[in-house]
Amino acid sequence: MLESIEVTKKFVGKTAVDGITMQLEPGHIYAMLGPNGSGKTTWMKMAAGLIKPTSGQIRYMGQPISVETKNDIAYMSTEPYFYDWMTVGDVGKYYADFFKDFSMDKYDYLLEKMELLKKLKVKSLSSGMMAKLKVAVTMARDAKVYMLDEPLNGIDLLARDSVMNMILMSADEGKTLLISSHLVEELESVVDKAIFIKNSKFAGIYDVEALRTEDNMSLADKYRQVFSDVDMGGIQ
């Protein structure tokens, strides 16, 4: 479905992604976990077709990432990226102008749920409202793959709940969702697979319920195991 084959991205003086090979299937919500700067954003941008790998290839349905795959793969960046002059309504119109799979009805519905008014200027939005807007406009697309880069960054608990709900409303058997975060606990109940990225390299993919049933371990426990050498638990 979405395959990454030996993908490497080098920037001047630094390897951001180092030989990542993995495969994402529809019908799952994946967490992409790793500390800041581990290469999650760079990998997503390559899958979104915003930057090109130095070597290796990302394929969607067997085709290399290109302008065409942007029709099926929706990407949401962490930072706000809308034009300063836009209102919440303009953002929707912009997506409607460029994405055939964008549904204005769904956008309106999500805005209502998030209590976002269309006449609001994007420049005046608080970081929580901006986070909601970005997720709403991205999820109002009927894409095959959604990649959300740190959708919970810098927003309060209540906004996190509504953002997670928006994401869940759009999930189904035909869609692949990939959510990056360093807030592991927030994703614990929502994702069913977790990909670990450590020092620009692929460091394993786990079934989250299987971790709990078979290893008696939470996702956060696994995260600590992969990324730190500190043992958690009682006095031994």
Partner 1 sequence: MGNLIKYEFRKTWIIKAIILVFTAIFELLFLAGTFSKNEDIQATGIIFLVLTTLCALFIIGIYGIFRLHKDITTKQSYMLFMTPHNSYTILGAKLIENAGSILLAGVFYMVLALIDITFLAAYNGEIVEALDLINEILGEHYSIDTYRFIMISFDMITVWIFNIVTGFFAVTISASVLNGKKGSGIISFILYLFITGFIEKLHNFIMDCFTSADMIGFTTGRMVYNLIYYIGFTVVMYVITAWIMDNKLSV
Partner 2 sequence: MQYDSKIPIYLQVIDSIKTDIINERIKCGQKLPSSRELAVTYTINPNTAARVYQELEREGVCYTKRGMGTFVTEDEGVIAMLKKEMAEEALDVFLKSISELGISIDEAIELLKQREE
Q: At 43, which helix (H) or strand (E)?
A: helix 40-47
Judged by CB under 8 A, does residue 226 bind partner 2?
no
Judged by CB under 8 A, does residue 172 bind partner 2?
yes
DSSP 59-122: EETTEES-TGGGGTEEEE-SS--S-TT-BHHHHHHHHHHH-TTB-HHHHHHHHHHHT--TTSBG
Q: Is residue 178 within 8 Å of residue 167, measured between CB atoms?
A: no
Contact residue for partner 2 among 55, 63, 213, 228 (CB under 8 A): 213
Per CB under 8 A, which region of 76-84, 89-97, 101-109, 186-194 contacts partner 2?
186-194
Contact residue for partner 2 among 66, 154, 209, 228 (CB under 8 A): 209
Contact residue for partner 2 among 54, 220, 224, 225 (CB under 8 A): 220
Minimal distance, residue 141 CB to partner 2, in Å: 18
Beta carbon nearer to partner 2, 86 or 217:
217
Smallest CA-to-CA distance from 110 within 92, 128, 87 is with: 92
Q: How far apart are CA 157 and CA 171, in angstroms?
A: 21
Binding mask 114-153 for partner 2 (x = CB under 8 A): ----------------------------------------
Contact residue for partner 2 among 18, 72, 142, 192 (CB under 8 A): 192
Q: How far apart are CA 103 and CA 68, in angstroms?
A: 19
Q: Is residue 16 within 8 Å of residue 10, measured between CB atoms?
A: yes
Please, which of residues 151-170 interact with partner 2 by CB under 8 A?
Answer: 161, 164-165, 168-169
Residue type at position 107: Y
Task: List residues near partner 1 by CB under 8 A.
Answer: 11-12, 45, 48-52, 67-68, 70-71, 75, 77, 79-83, 85, 94, 97-99
Per CB under 8 A, which region of 34-42, 43-51, 102-110, 212-220 contacts partner 2?
212-220
Cβ neighbors of 9 (< 8 A, separation 6 or more) are 15, 16, 17, 39, 42, 43, 46, 51, 53, 54
Q: How many residues make contact with partner 2 (CB under 8 A)?
A: 26
Please, which of residues 19-78 interact with partner 2 by CB under 8 A?
Answer: 27-29
